[in-house]
Structure 1
Amino acid sequence: MKNRPRGERNRLAALTLVVLGPLVAELALGSTPVRMAWLLLLWLPIYGAGVLLIRELVRRFRGGWLSVILLGVAYELVEDGIALQALSSPHLYGAAGWAPRVLGLNSAYLEANLPYHVVFSVTVPILLTDLLFPRHRHVPYLGRTGLVVTGLCALAGVALLRVSVPPNQDPGYMAPPGVLLGCLAAVAVLAVIALGVLPRRAARPRTDARVPSARALAGGGFLAALAFMGLLFPFWGAAQPAFTHGLWVLLPMAAAAVAAVGTGLLVHRWSASSRWDDRRCLALAGGALIAHTVFGVVGVADTALDRAGLVVLGLLTAWLLLVLARRPPAAATG
């Protein structure tokens, strides 16, 4: 293994990230049922190539996790705003009935899916791949040709999603031009900030602030993710989040926003400490990852086979996280 060329190891890391994207975002939640796991092949271009493109661009422009997060927001706007057009559709997934629509957008659906995709479609797969291949965490995995091919695959994934899901589940709907142009403009602005502005900022000074233990972070990540999803995603036949009716839905929406913003600010603060390390980062992400599979078992899967499959997948995930946590640290290149 040590004698293999670096480029070959980078391609293995790239392939791992491509697979982890849809595996974490779709299969581990149950959005794609275990009995229909073959559908992951259809999601590989947008999820897999999409998250790989984000990582490659951030590494090439020498950005950090804030850049990844902003491009994760852009990813959500591309997937749900342009490809699926679920952000504005009055029919798809019943999302228009979750909460009052704002400026023609499905407000609760946007609030639920934006953090979800930032965390589980983008950030967690990139983090896990960086930890699996620590020697290459600060360098691109691909050359220029690979980057171009990845970008084309991601665009093809957007087109594939557009022609496969809406025609069957939301036939005839087309988002208003204002929504599409707004999404495109927002994606462009986010990309400029993520790749052009943030990498130019001076590095944050390191502090000696105390940070929670890995065990506490795992529990906190679990509770935060479970609370956020339980507050915003309707389940068990509920028409609105948290089994609310009418404008009462604003209460769980506000609580979920506080939980998401509060967790983000705490992580931003802790990550500036010299005591913040990979083990704590993995514990936080691992707790959230297990929670999101638990929510899938409770609130997403609708057959015994799918629930059993998610339980097995959750146990396997927990075992792999423990194995990864016990690996000795390795020096990173770059």
Structure 2
Amino acid sequence: MRRLLPALGLLCLSPLVAEYLLGDVPITSIALLLAMIPLYGCGALLIREVVRRAGYGWPSILAFGLAYGMIEEGFTTFTLFDPNWAGFHVLTYGYIPSLGISLNWTIFVMGLHTFWSIGTPIALMEALAGKQQRTTPWLGKIGLAVVATVFALFVIGPVVYILLTHRFHASVPQVIGTSIAIIIIVGIGILLGQRNRAPHTQTAGHVPSPWLVMLVALVATSIFQLIYAADPYGLSPWLAGLHLPAWAAIVLYLLLLCGMAVPVGFWSRQSGWSDAHRFALAAGALLTYIWHSFPWPVLMPGVDLMNDLLSNAIFAAGAIALLIIAARWLKQEEQPVVATVPAPGGLLP
């Protein structure tokens, strides 16, 4: 039962972060969580279980999270290719006619899934799970098979529905290209995982405090969101007045991603890198979603501004409470256990 609780928590936490904390869906539509768990929740749990069973590490989780994003946006919703998805024109900014995609939207939405839909919920739930269960499987073989089956059905189901109702769907070359990209990304994740399993020594270099790591993550992920806010055709164009060219946004995205990958990769190879540092990265990303939910408009129709802001405040409070609980749990784990030795003669004087 103790292993099942963090698994159930991850099933719920992934869609809560991905859709509700982001600000897409208000709390008045909390019942939709049940429809999101099979895709977001099962996807995150499946990735986490596969990685932990294989003895892989965080590079594999992020790589598989990227593959998840390609599956959802390339096959299930087709937002990578649909120029009028949900009435929005997310592909207009930086559109590449020969590929039928916007590189800006692709980088942004893949970042959302990799770091927030998958990475952050896994890191938070592993922090809450405790040291003994942090990197061990939470599901048995039957549970893993059930999760994988449910996830597959909820990936295939929307595709079949779209085809039967003659709605927009990707072209054959786009489907083939997306499939190849997913296979390559999964292959990279496996190679990174095998490298993680190989014996390696950590160096004794300097590692910043978890507080500083959290601040760095908060700043970096905030900049990531601000770059997208400059997209005049995006879902939240509140910085469109900056008139940032699409190519410049792509350059900023790439510089930002490399600028985070290099120091985090270096820190994680040091002997002082701990679970608290990994939690700090997730905490910084979660704090970004908290503040960014307020300028981000709700995508559900019929929700007024007051209800939108109230919903954001409720989910923000819940996220902060979760961070506090996880941080205290990790702090308790770091405290040394002092063994008491009874005086000679036993407990009695």
TM range (shorter): 0.7 to 0.9
Paired with 2:46 and 2:269, the residues of 1 have a C-alpha distance of: 26
Q: Residue 145 of structure 2 aligns with which residue?
A: 148
Match of 1:106 among 102, 113, 116: 102
Q: Residue 179 of structure 1 aligns with which residue?
A: 174
Q: Secondary structure at the match of 1:298?
A: coil
Paired with 1:247 and 1:123, the residues of 2 have a C-alpha distance of: 29
Paired with 1:112 and 1:233, the residues of 2 have a C-alpha distance of: 11
Q: Residue 41 of structure 1 aligns with which residue?
A: 34
**Structure 2 residue identity aligned to 1:209:** G
**Structure 1 residue identity aligned to 2:175:** L
Unaligned runs of 5+ in 1: 1-7
Within 5 Å, give how 1:1-334 maps onto structure 2.
8-92=1-85, 93-101=88-96, 103-134=99-130, 135-162=132-159, 172-195=167-190, 198-200=193-195, 202-233=198-229, 238-239=232-233, 242-243=239-240, 248-301=245-298, 303-327=305-329, 328-329=332-333
Paired with 2:262 and 2:281, the residues of 1 have a C-alpha distance of: 14
Paired with 1:197 and 1:271, the residues of 2 have a C-alpha distance of: 14
**Structure 1 residue identity aligned to 2:333:** P
TM-score of the two chains, using structure 1 as the length reference: 0.87
Q: Secondary structure at the match of 2:333?
A: coil
User: How far apart are 1:233 and its partner, in Å?
Assistant: 4.2
Q: Answer yes or no: is the 8 Å Cα contact 1:218–1:283 preserved in 2.
A: yes
Paired with 1:163 and 1:229, the residues of 2 have a C-alpha distance of: 33
Q: Answer yes or no: is the 8 Å Cα contact 1:218–1:286 preserved in 2.
A: yes
Paired residues, what number? 319
Paired with 1:197 and 1:211, the residues of 2 have a C-alpha distance of: 23
Paired with 2:167 and 2:102, the residues of 1 have a C-alpha distance of: 18
Paired with 1:30 and 1:326, the residues of 2 have a C-alpha distance of: 27
**Larger deviation: 181-190 or 83-92?**
181-190
**Structure 1 residue identity aligned to 2:321:** W
TM-score of the two chains, using structure 2 as the length reference: 0.84
User: How far apart are 1:211 and its partner, in Å?
Assistant: 2.0
Paired with 1:264 and 1:197, the residues of 2 have a C-alpha distance of: 14
Q: Answer yes or no: is the 8 Å Cα contact 1:51–1:126 preserved in 2.
A: yes
% identical aligned pairs: 28
**Larger deviation: 91-100 or 288-297?**
91-100
User: Which of the pair has more CA radius of gyration?
Assistant: 2
Paired with 1:70 and 1:309, the residues of 2 have a C-alpha distance of: 32
